[in-house]
Amino acid sequence: MKIIIKIAKNELLNLFYSPVAWFLVIAFMVQCGLYYTGNLYTWANLQDLYLKNIPLWKNWGNVSVTQETFLSGDGIFVNVLTNLFLFIPLLCMGLISREVNNGTIKLLYSSPVKVRDIVLGKYLAIMLFNLLLLAILGIFMVLGAFNIKSVDYGLLLSASLGFYLMVCAFTAIGLFLSSLTTYQIVSAIGSFITLFVLSRIGGLWQKYDVLRDLTNFLSMSGRTAKMLKGLITTKDVLYYVLIVYLFLSFTYFKLKGAREARPWYVKARGYLIVSVLVLGLGYLGSRPAYTLYWDTTARQSNTIDPKVQQMIKAMGKDKLEVTLYTNLLGKGGSNGLPEARNAYLSTMWEPYVRFKPDMDFKYSYYYAYHPWMDDSVGYKSFAGKSVKEMAELVARGMEVSLSKFAPEEEMRKTMDLAPENFRLVMQLKYNGQSTFLRTFDDGIFWPTETQVAAALKRLQQARMPKLLFVTGDLERSIYKYGEREYQLHTLQRLYRLSMINMGFDADSINLETQDIPAGITALVLADPKKDLGAVTRAKIKQYIDGGGNMLILGEPGKQYVLNPVLQQLGVQLKEGILVEPSTQEMPHMVKPYLTASFSRFADEPEFIEMREGGKVLKGLMPGVTALSYDGPGRFTVSPLLASAGDKTWLKAGRLVTDSTPPEFSPKEGDIRGPFPTALALTRRSGDHEQKIIVCGDADFMSNLRSGGGAIGRAMYSWLDDNKFPIYTPKPDPKDNLLLVTPGGATAEKIVYVWVLPAITLLIGIILLIRRKRK
């Protein structure tokens, strides 16, 4: 050990007695200073503008300033790691080749020093130099602790570990390349090429299962991605340890082989054994069952919600099977091809495999096309061609073999995916139950934790929440795509926030001919346009008297249709229409405030902000009437949405929306507010609490308004006793405010980009001059 330390000490002295090490230190310092202070100034300047011009602005909300300053695309860590391969070849090019050129390698060979000690001593020196680079990064992390409120230390420490492991792996490769040649420039170029190949090899031969796993293990690309997000995994740490071991062993074999006269195949044996050992250990270490995880972030942002963890835990050791169905001619098909499999497993499933490593993943490939399918790739342009001919052309363009894809007729024997529009979809199976997990045409594409949680719950729960929508009197339809209808937020499979993707079942019911079944979550009566029949009214009355939950939505001009039903609740839709004149919207576009009681209905992110941060939330009701309710009665009544009293009034008579703004006229019967536009009614009924919501507008939950957004989802959640949707909110980060001004950021840039590197340069010049004199 003393020999190793002595060699390391001499190697460090050699490094700092040459201009190369000083140049790298100064260049690295300047690079870090530029990326940190540049990004810091941008955020500090924006924050200063917001604080001065937006009175209610307090912080960045759910934005982690630590993440944005250090780890975003413009942050210090990402850019330093991107440029790291430019530094390492220069640093390592002379580690061994310099000894050969100077003739000192012969002295080492002739001394009682083992080759192992030479390799480890030189590598120890370079590891200590790497610590110096990490210390430079540490300067800016300490600075960040003063610049950022409640900085996320765990995130920074995880990113630091990722940086250090990567630079150590790079230098191990550089050490080996330095042992292969006496020319330092050749060693540097070889190191650069090797690092380039290892960073790109993960994209090669991805269509073949065996080669895909091998190249994915060898690839350095993305190995630090999780650590930069604050997630440390044993398989990533093990990868870097094995890479270091591999190339240090190669260096040892190379130096030892230079002293021995053995056949090449005998020398190659050591390389082969180490390579097989590293690949074997790497493969075993990357298996989910042997992988450990540590989420170092302050708010556990890389870990699924405890509720979802509990669902997975409840599955025990029973198998969860996930089959990915890929249609060559369907939407999203490219994301399901073999070459995209690693990205699919890592992006979509790794957070869940962490808690259930025995998940069974299967893949099914087919081709199908119908004119009514989503035509994103322009298949309609293949005029006159059969589906098989279309598939052959597409397969040729994607460079895949059509023989792997079954025709639709064969696929239908086991699975009919027509209801799923023949697009990329996953089917989950567990204990004889199955459900679909869908992909979506938005920026995320894959289902998020909320959709996955709903699917997992569906597999474990015999009865899912069910909404029944009354039909027969021109109510809003859950099957139509028109702008006034309700299909988007109920049954639309391609909308990730629809009820069917959030755990609910939805269906329609004609009360004139059908009875209301027991056990439903809620009955929805949405804007009937005709007088309800006596049978329908009687069944609704019986349902309410029996303690059933209900959502009732009316519209101005049709108060007479619903008021007979609402009478038993003590609620009425008032005659007239609410108006709220503004410079931006037509007067019937009313923006009621959400009440404090409504904010407690669900864990929608906006509602959490309102509860915890006092944020004022408004809805949008395009054409709404006011609600009135009696005093103490059978139900406890709570306003959910209410108009602003000084800005709105209830207008009697006809409202003209495409002319001059209306004026308040008491003579015509106008009444100034405020008025409730949505009410919640509750009472105890048997062993449960009965819940009813009445709204003076139905358009706000239409297809055009995305089903009411958070307001609509919160209403359904409350009616289901908050069992669905399964909300998985993350707490707002505490590091959401900068403590530095733009002027302070500018001063830091001068210090860390100019002053500190200049001082380091001066120290380096002095040491090099003194060394030369000696």
Residue range 669-692, pLDDT digits in tens? 899 989 999 999 999 998 899 999
- Specify the pLDDT at position 105: 64
**Residue 81 buriedness (CB in 10 A; 0-12 / 13-18 / 19+):** middle
**Residue 270 buriedness (CB in 10 A; 0-12 / 13-18 / 19+):** middle
Which position has the token pair 């990205």? 343
Reading the block at residue 134, the tokens are 């990490």
CB-CB contact of 50 with 727 (8 Å): no
Reading the block at residue 737, the tokens are 């405010």
For 730-767, how does the pLDDT look when each residue is reduced to its tens digit (9 = 90+)? 888 999 999 999 999 999 999 999 999 999 999 989 88
**Does residue 503 have a pLDDT over 90?**
yes
Report the percentage of the chain scoring pLDDT > 90: 64
**Does residue 638 have a pLDDT over 80?**
yes
For 337-351, how does the pLDDT look when each residue is reduced to its tens digit (9 = 90+)? 988 888 899 999 999
**Does residue 665 have a pLDDT over 50?**
yes
Task: Find the distance separating the first CA and the last CA of the chain, reported in whole Å.
Answer: 30
Instruction: Give bridge partners of residue 690 from the DSSP assignment.
Output: 683
* Mean pLDDT, rounded, for 381-410: 88
Q: What is the mean pLDDT of the chain?
A: 90
How are beta strands 636-642 and 593-594 bridged, if at all?
antiparallel
Reading the block at residue 527, the tokens are 């804007």
User: Which of 740, 647, 637, 654 is CA-nearest to residue 694?
Assistant: 637
Instruction: Give bridge partners of residue 466 from the DSSP assignment.
Output: 505
CB-CB contact of 452 with 308 (8 Å): yes
Compute the distance between CA of residue 757 and CA of residue 33 in angstroms, rounded to an integer: 9
Report the percentage of the chain scoring pLDDT > 70: 95
* Mean pLDDT, rounded, for 199-210: 68
Query: Residue type for 37, please?
Result: T
Reading the block at residue 483, the tokens are 């702008």
Compute the distance between CA of residue 540 and CA of residue 700 in angstroms, rounded to an integer: 23
CB-CB contact of 671 with 590 (8 Å): no
- Specify the pLDDT at position 667: 87
How are beta strands 676-685 and 671-672 bridged, if at all?
unpaired
Range of 95-99, 647-651, 661-665 with top mean pLDDT: 647-651
Which position has the token pair 């950021």? 745
Compute the distance between CA of residue 571 and CA of residue 676 in angstroms, rounded to an integer: 11
Q: Where are the alpha helices (DSSP H) in 293-371?
A: 306-314, 341-344, 350-353
- Specify the pLDDT at position 113: 77
User: Which of 271, 245, 342, 352 is CA-nearest to residue 309?
Assistant: 352
**Does residue 379 have a pLDDT over 70?**
no
Query: Residue type for 426, please?
Result: M
Compute the distance between CA of residue 395 and CA of residue 399 in angstroms, rounded to an integer: 6
Q: What are phi and psi of 430, to 5 degrees?
A: -160, 120
Give the pLDDT band (50/70/90) at residue 376.
very low
Half-sphere exposure of 155 (CA within 13 A, CB side): 27
Helix H or strand E encompassing 277: helix 264-286
User: Which of 353, 409, 352 is CA-nearest to residue 386?
Assistant: 409
* Mean pLDDT, rounded, for 108-124: 81
Q: 189-198, 340-349, 504-513, 633-642: lowest mean pLDDT where?
A: 189-198
Measured CA distances, 218 to 202, 344, 528 (Å): 7, 19, 63
Query: What is the Cα gyration radius of the chain?
Result: 34
Bond before 674 cis per omega within 30 degrees: yes
**Does residue 449 have a pLDDT over 60?**
yes
**Does residue 194 have a pLDDT over 90?**
no
Range of 68-77, 154-163, 254-263 with top mean pLDDT: 154-163
User: Which of 644, 623, 627 is CA-nearest to residue 697?
Assistant: 623
- The contacts found for 743-747 with CB under 8 angstroms, 24 or more apart, are 744/44, 744/147, 745/37, 745/40, 745/41, 745/44, 745/45, 745/147, 746/41
**Does residue 647 have a pLDDT over 90?**
no
* Mean pLDDT, rounded, for 288-294: 93
Handedness of CA 755, 756, 758, 759 (dihedral sign): positive
User: Which of 294, 280, 374 is CA-nearest to residue 330?
Assistant: 374
SS3 448: coil
For 249-275, how does the pLDDT look when each residue is reduced to its tens digit (9 = 90+)? 999 998 887 666 677 777 788 899 999
Which position has the token pair 């556990």? 300
Q: Where are the alpha helices (DSSP H) in 571-701?
A: 596-599, 605-613
Buried b (16+ CB within 10 A) or exposed e, 403-413: eebbebeebee
For 559-599, how does the pLDDT look when each residue is reduced to its tens digit (9 = 90+)? 999 999 999 999 999 999 999 988 888 888 999 999 999 99
Reading the block at residue 446, the tokens are 């894959």
Helix H or strand E encompassing 438: strand 433-438
* Mean pLDDT, rounded, for 284-292: 90
User: Which of 650, 676, 671, 640 is CA-nearest to residue 588?
Assistant: 650
Compute the distance between CA of residue 306 and CA of residue 310 in angstroms, rounded to an integer: 6
Helix H or strand E encompassing 227: helix 225-228
User: Which of 272, 259, 277 is CA-nearest to residue 116?
Assistant: 259
Helix H or strand E encompassing 640: strand 636-642
Three-state SS string across 527-587, please?
CCCCCCCHHHHHHHHHHHHCCCCEEEECCCCCHHHHHHHHHHHCEEECCCEEECCCCCCCC
How are beta strands 466-470 and 505-509 bridged, if at all?
parallel
Compute the distance between CA of residue 759 and CA of residue 350 in angstroms, rounded to an integer: 47
For 508-534, how does the pLDDT look when each residue is reduced to its tens digit (9 = 90+)? 999 999 999 999 999 999 999 999 999
Buried b (16+ CB within 10 A) or exposed e, 21-46: bbebbbebbbbbbebbbbbbbebbee
